[in-house]
């Protein structure tokens, strides 16, 4: 990594204050995400990798609270920005693909309204009809045939996999410099999964910095450049994917890799 990373996280801590004590969801994480690279966050469920992405966006909800750390994006520390400035960052500089595609879409809005909102929020002058061609194109790229029908559909009329591809399309149309993709391929069949990963690689080549949150090391091996292994809110191992795969240092990493070793 010769260039300065687009996104730099330094000793970020997000704690949840519950009745039963403090849960350290993110506990002093350092992370670098380079331009034109795919950075994978790997860990089991509950490891804090999803909460890490919400912390980056500063969207942690009560009883959770970000208590310490810096989030540098393009030379600015997001933690020092006002809510108003943050609104401009969210969805414009950092876009997010959510894990649960069906629940992350508003049931009473059509797909085209979702796509349009992703861009219109940051450019009020845009008109829907000027963007429709682009939307169709993006939907085709994520493997959704018949884009005209998809645009006019409501989320619940689509399958989970289709929603997930729409979510990816929503991430793409924003043209953000950082894309955080939380398990973008978890509910897809292998063919569609390949199409999505290919699209992520294409975006990466176009210069986007991509954070890929996943528990699937197969996906990491195929696409990612760097990886961070997260356990109990802490980074326990990190480095270029080929290095970590060649000689995992931690028992937990080895444990995560077992299914892949078996396949080989």
Partner 1 sequence: MKRFKLIVKRVVQIVPILLIVTLLAFFLSNVSSGDVATVTLQSRGVQPTEQNLAAVREELGLNAPLPVQYINWLKKAVQFDFGISFQTHKPVSEEIFARFPATLKLALAATLMSLVFSIPLALLSARYKDSTADHTIRILSSVGATIPDFWLGLMLLYLFGVVLKIVPVISGSKLSNIFLPAFTLSVAYGATYVRVLRSNLIEVRRFDYMKAARARGLGEGKALAKHGLKNALLPMVTLIGINFGKLLSGQIATETIFSWNGIGKFAVDSMKVKDLPVIQGYIMIVSITYIAINLILDILYMYIDPRIQSD
Q: Which residue, 94 or 217, is less far from partner 1 as judged by CB?
A: 94
User: In what helix (H) or strand (E) does residue 71 lie, and over which residues does it extend?
Assistant: strand 64-73
Q: Which residue, 60 or 220, is less far from partner 1 as judged by CB?
A: 60
**Number of residues located near partner 1, criterion CB under 8 A:** 31
- In angstroms, give the least distance from the CB of 122 to partner 1: 6
Distance (Å, whole) CA 156 – CA 107: 6
Residue 15's DSSP bridge partners are 24, 65
User: In what helix (H) or strand (E) does residue 129 lie, and over which residues does it extend?
Assistant: helix 128-141
**Tokens describing residue 175:** 């043209």
Residue 90's DSSP bridge partners are 94
The residue from 107, 207, 218, 259 that contacts partner 1 (CB under 8 A) is: 107
For residue 63, say if its preceding peptide bond is cis, omega within 30 degrees of 0.
yes
The residue from 105, 111, 166, 179 that contacts partner 1 (CB under 8 A) is: 105
**Tokens describing residue 109:** 């809005």
Output helix, strand, coil percentages for the chain, rounded to the nearest 5: 40, 25, 35
- In angstroms, give the least distance from the CB of 76 to partner 1: 16
Residues 118-177 that bind partner 1 (CB under 8 A): 118, 121-122, 154, 156-157, 170, 174
Does the footprint of partner 1 cover residue 217 (CB under 8 A)? no
Does the footprint of partner 1 cover residue 17 (CB under 8 A)? no
- In angstroms, give the least distance from the CB of 253 to partner 1: 29
Does the footprint of partner 1 cover residue 192 (CB under 8 A)? no
Does the footprint of partner 1 cover residue 108 (CB under 8 A)? yes
- In angstroms, give the least distance from the CB of 74 to partner 1: 16
Distance (Å, whole) CA 260 – CA 150: 36
**Tokens describing residue 56:** 């980056």
| Sign of the alpha-carbon torsion through 239, 224, 46, 247 | negative
- In angstroms, give the least distance from the CB of 245 to partner 1: 31
The residue from 22, 67, 109, 242 that contacts partner 1 (CB under 8 A) is: 109
Enumerate residues 6+ apart whose C-beta is below 8 A from 231: 43, 44, 47, 252
Does the footprint of partner 1 cover residue 87 (CB under 8 A)? yes
Contact footprint for partner 1 (CB under 8 A): 54, 57, 59, 83-84, 87-92, 95-96, 98, 100, 103-109, 117-118, 121-122, 154, 156-157, 170, 174
């Amino acid at each position: 990594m010769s260039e300065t990373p687009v996104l730099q996280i330094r000793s970020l801590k997000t704690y949840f204050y519950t009745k039963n004590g403090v849960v350290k969801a993110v506990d002093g994480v350092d992370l670098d995400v380079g331009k034109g690279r795919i950075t994978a966050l790997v860990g089991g469920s509950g490891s804090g990798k999803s909460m890490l992405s919400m912390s980056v966006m500063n969207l942690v909800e009560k009883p959770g609270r970000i208590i310490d750390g810096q989030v540098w994006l393009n030379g600015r520390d997001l933690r020092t920005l006002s809510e108003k400035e943050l609104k401009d960052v969210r969805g414009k500089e950092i876009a997010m693909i959510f894990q649960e595609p069906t629940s992350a879409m508003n049931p009473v809005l059509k797909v085209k309204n979702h796509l349009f909102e992703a861009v219109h929020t940051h450019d009020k002058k845009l008109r829907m009809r000027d963007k429709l061609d682009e939307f169709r194109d993006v939907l085709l790229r994520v493997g959704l045939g018949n884009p005209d029908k998809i645009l006019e559909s409501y989320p619940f009329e689509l399958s989970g996999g289709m929603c997930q591809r729409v979510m990816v399309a929503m991430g793409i149309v924003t043209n953000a410099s950082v894309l955080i993709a939380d398990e973008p391929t978890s509910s897809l069949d292998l063919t569609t999964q390949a199409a999505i990963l290919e699209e992520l690689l294409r975006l990466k080549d176009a210069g986007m910095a991509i954070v890929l949150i996943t528990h699937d090391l197969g996906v990491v091996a195929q696409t990612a450049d760097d990886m961070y292994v997260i356990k109990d809110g802490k980074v326990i191992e990190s480095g270029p994917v080929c290095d970590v795969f060649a000689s995992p240092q931690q028992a937990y990493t080895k444990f995560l890799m077992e299914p892949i070793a078996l396949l080989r």
